[in-house]
Amino acid sequence: DLVMTQSPDSLAVSLGARATINCKSSQSVLYNSNNKNYLAWYQQKPGQPPKLLIYWASTRDSGVPDRFSGSGSGTDFTLTISSLQAEDVAVYYCQQYFGTPPTFGQGTKVEIK
Amino acid sequence: QVQLEQSGAEVKKPGSSVKVSCRASGGSFSNYSISWVRQAPGQGLEWMGRIIPMHIIVNYAQKFQGRVTFTADRSTSTAYMELSSLRSEDTAVYYCARDRDPPRGDYSFDSWGQGTLVTVSS
């Protein structure tokens, strides 16, 4: 199974500041024939199911604010929150869907400093 | 936008089985691919497998092979997950989720049920 490793496990960021979460895959999730990275990002708030933020590594899902952006390729990916808002406090997960089973990172907890 | 509504919380004895339902509304259920994902208390997310009701195709994660069964009733737009031989380690919130765009290889999950807490305790 592909192993997804996120860093850091947690971070505290001031309101309005940038938050950066990293995700590393044990193997490339880039499919060369279509040049797509099979990588998604989710946000999970306490007591709620995860919410899809980003798919294909950098495409925002419908309704997701543009302060959320995804980047990277191959094995290294980043989720950036450009200006942290109070409602962004949550745990964030990356997920690969290049291989079966799809696998998730361990999660990164984002808090307000 | 599709909505997924799951059945309520369950408390089960070790060795028993549990069946969780996931009813879809707001779209064409037959065209969906529905995955099941679980999350133990305070832990991360674990994919259990998926079912494609239109083609009656099921894929199970190796870890759950032989212990989990996915079914679907197209007449009620409902998917089911049954897990048997329950043990304490199966205590978790179980989610159904829709695979976003399977024909294009997009197995991200764009709609989620609210989750069903299954507690296994003697």
pLDDT the model gives residue B53: 85
Report whether pLDDT(B27) > 90.
no
Confidence of residue B30 (pLDDT cuts 50, 70, 90): confident
Confidence of residue A68 (pLDDT cuts 50, 70, 90): very high
Give the minimum alpha-carbon distance from A12 to chain B in angstroms, rounded to a whole number.
19
- With 0-12 / 13-18 / 19 or more C-beta atoms within 10 angstroms meaning exposed / middle / buried, residue A57 is buried
Token digits for B113? Answer: 């049920």
> Which of chain B's residues have a Cβ under 8 Å away from the Cβ of A93?
44-45
How far, in Å, CA of A7 to CA of A9, rounded? 5
> Which of chain B's residues have a Cβ under 8 Å away from the Cβ of A34?
105
Q: Cβ B107–A51 below 8 Å, yes or no?
A: no
Averaged confidence pLDDT in chain B: 95
pLDDT the model gives residue B33: 94
Report whether pLDDT(B24) > 90.
yes
Burial B63-82 (b: 16+ CB within 10 A, else e): ebeebbbbebeeeebbbbbe
Report whether pLDDT(B121) > 80.
yes
| Residue A56 near residue B121 (C-beta atoms within 8 A) | no
**Which amino acid does the sequence have at A48?**
Q
Query: CA-CA-CA-CA torsion for A2, A8, A44, B64, nearest 10 degrees?
Result: 30
| Residue A42 near residue A23 (C-beta atoms within 8 A) | no
pLDDT the model gives residue A47: 95
- Helix or strand (DSSP H, E) at B45: none
| Predicted confidence (pLDDT) per residue in B4-22, tens digit | 999 999 999 999 999 999 9
Q: Cβ B44–A101 below 8 Å, yes or no?
A: no
DSSP state of A27: S
Instruction: Please tell me which residue of chain A has the smallest CA distance to B96.
Output: A49
Averaged confidence pLDDT in chain A: 97
Token digits for A106? Answer: 């361990």
Average pLDDT over residues B105-118: 96
Average pLDDT over residues B90-106: 94
pLDDT the model gives residue B26: 87
| Predicted confidence (pLDDT) per residue in A10-65, tens digit | 999 999 999 999 999 999 999 999 999 999 999 999 999 999 999 999 999 999 99
Interstrand relation of B10-12 and B116-120 (parallel, antiparallel or unpaired): parallel
Average pLDDT over residues B59-85: 96
